[in-house]
Amino acid sequence: MTQTLLRGRILTFHREPEAPDDTGAFDYIEDGALLIEGGRIAASGAFAEVQERAQDAQIVDHRPHLLMAGFIDAHIHFPQLQIMASWGSQLLDWLNGYTFPAEADFADAQHARAMARRFCDMLAAHGTTTAVAFCSSHRASAEALFAEAQSRDMRMIAGKTMMDRNAPEAVLDTPQSAYDDSKALIAEWHGTGRLSYAITPRFAITSTPEQLEIAGALVGEHPGCFVQTHLSENHDEIAYTAELYPDARDYLDVYEARGLLGPRTLLGHAIHLRPREIDAIAATGAHPVFCPTSNLFLGSGLFDDAGLRASKIHSGIATDVGAGTSFSMLQTLNEGYKILQLQNQTLHTLRAFHWITRGNAEMLGMADRIGTLAAGTEADIVVLDSRATPAMALRMERAETLAEELFALQMMGDDRAVVQTYIAGRAQKADG
């Protein structure tokens, strides 16, 4: 079996850092190596030791760059890659003005396949090796994304969006068609290679009670699938949801009453939560997902990371492209840091990089497979250059510690800092 040996500085986490100086939470090796075989990391450690295990391995020397686990994006919209940076006001207007017209195009299977290639290219270019993605309401959209991810052996969690009201006809399904399409997609793709299915009601406003009941039925029939939706992103959204579901105790109860909450449930945004909702999220093990660039772009509000952590809730972090303004998880950390600063909360750089690697992997229940550089895990790796731009190089002239280097990457990095991305051990960037 062909072996590849990557040489460089290695950083990998084995638990969440408790403080900026918690060096026990990670391993850092100045002259390290990763031995890749069959899409997995066969060995990880000091170069001299790992080299002894290599037989006729091709050696790729990435020194002086930093090797980390590939980034994990926990909430992103595949059909919205062409409407990033579309001027708009707040959430509901933005959906009607940009999102729904763009998503209507994904009924065309040829368009969906073309966009799937470009979507996966963009993820890899920015160092993202795993994504949790919303497709459009069309089965062809999900088929295209799953097929493209499978061709790259890329870990992808995705689902056909379910929505049967309050949107143009071109993007609507029905409770029955949503159920039938989702069942067929689960049968074909869930558990195939590195693919997983997410049952995907868009949000309460675009699903009737009947459709959410159908989504709950799917969860009962397929407990191994994920669930993804949106929650409490915007005040107008919350008010409209209350009108549509007058019997619900609150927004979260719309989902809770229909069996959609559990440890595999991802709740995009979750900004404006009531105390009962926070308690229910903690009790069910569901996961809010912080989408900082999107929340700032649409003026949605400030995510209360510290408050949720105090309630023992494990949140994810994500780009939320296309309301999110960058595919880069580095830029996501940049804006996340600022949102927390505005609330006198802290996102120190060790926790930040843990969050977009092992942290998101642990939230997904996949830390044994992705999110670290441990031997036996899948060989999803990003190679980072902290001197990628003149401004970054100038900053690095005065950096004296690993934490300073990471913070420069967090605040100044983007796809230019990504030298190479490996998915299942295969290099994705031709110029890397």
DSSP 80-147: GTT-TT----SHHHHIIIIIHHHHHGGGSHHHHHHHHHHHHHHHHHTTEEEEEEE--SSHHHHHHHHH
Residue 19, judged by CB atoms within 10 A of its CB (0-12, 13-18, 19+), counts as exposed
Residue 345, judged by CB atoms within 10 A of its CB (0-12, 13-18, 19+), counts as middle
Residue 2, judged by CB atoms within 10 A of its CB (0-12, 13-18, 19+), counts as exposed
pLDDT at position 85 is 85
Q: What is the mean pLDDT of residues 211-215?
A: 98
Residue 202 has pLDDT above 90, yes or no: yes
DSSP letter (8 states) at residue 359:
I
Classify domain 3-70+371-427 at the CATH superfamily level. Urease, subunit C, domain 1 (2.30.40.10)
pLDDT at position 148 is 98
Residue 57 has pLDDT above 80, yes or no: yes
Please tell me the pTM assigned to this model: 0.97
Query: Coil, strand, or helix at residue 164?
Result: coil
pLDDT at position 423 is 98
pLDDT at position 430 is 86
pLDDT at position 56 is 86
pLDDT band at 431 (very low <50, low <70, confident <90, very high): confident
Q: What is the mean pLDDT of residues 76-89?
A: 88
Is 270:313 a contact under the CB 8 Å cutoff?
no
341/316 Cα distance (integer angstroms): 18
pLDDT at position 95 is 80
Q: What is the mean pLDDT of residues 56-77?
A: 97
pLDDT at position 361 is 98
pLDDT per residue over 94-122, tens digit each? 787 888 889 999 999 999 999 999 999 99
Query: Coil, strand, or helix at residue 430?
Result: coil
In percent, the amount of the chain with pLDDT more than 70 equals 100
Strand partners, 316: 289
Closest CA to 205 of 238, 249, 182: 238
Q: Do domains 3-70+371-427 and 71-363 have the same CATH topology?
A: no
Q: Which residues of 72-88 are buried (b: 16+ CB within 10 A; e: fewer)?
A: bbbbbbbbbbebbeeeb
Length of the chain in terms of residues written: 432
Residue 91 has pLDDT above 80, yes or no: no
In percent, the amount of the chain with pLDDT more than 90 equals 93
Percent of the chain as helix, strand, coil, to the nearest 5:
40, 25, 35
pLDDT at position 177 is 98
Q: CA 136: distance to chain centroid?
A: 17
pLDDT at position 304 is 98
Pick the CATH number of 71-363 from 3.30.360.10, 2.40.10.10, 3.40.50.2000, 3.20.20.140: 3.20.20.140
Higher pLDDT, 416 or 2: 416
pLDDT at position 427 is 98
87/392 Cα distance (integer angstroms): 30
Closest CA to 74 of 265, 254, 204, 338: 265
pLDDT at position 114 is 98
Residue 133 has pLDDT above 80, yes or no: yes
pLDDT at position 90 is 74
Residue 92 has pLDDT above 80, yes or no: no
DSSP letter (8 states) at residue 70:
P
Q: Which residues of 94-114 are buried (b: 16+ CB within 10 A; e: fewer)?
A: bbeebbbebbbbbbeeeebbe
Domain residue ranges of the chain, discontinuous segments joined by + = 3-70+371-427, 71-363
pLDDT at position 195 is 98
**Other beta carbons less than 10 A from residue 28's beta carbon:** 12
Residue 432 has pLDDT above 90, yes or no: no
DSSP letter (8 states) at residue 378:
B
Q: What is the mean pLDDT of residues 390-402?
A: 97
H/E run at residue 41: strand 40-46
Closest CA to 314 of 288, 335, 350, 280: 288
Is 421:70 a contact under the CB 8 Å cutoff?
yes
Residue 89 has pLDDT above 80, yes or no: no
pLDDT per residue over 253-304, tens digit each? 999 999 999 999 999 999 999 999 999 999 999 999 999 999 999 999 999 9
Higher pLDDT, 87 or 308: 308
Out of 84-98, 378-392, 393-407, least confident range: 84-98
Strand partners, 8: 32
Quick one: tokens of 277?
Answer: 């909702």
Q: What angle do CA 143, 144, 146 make, to 5 degrees?
A: 65
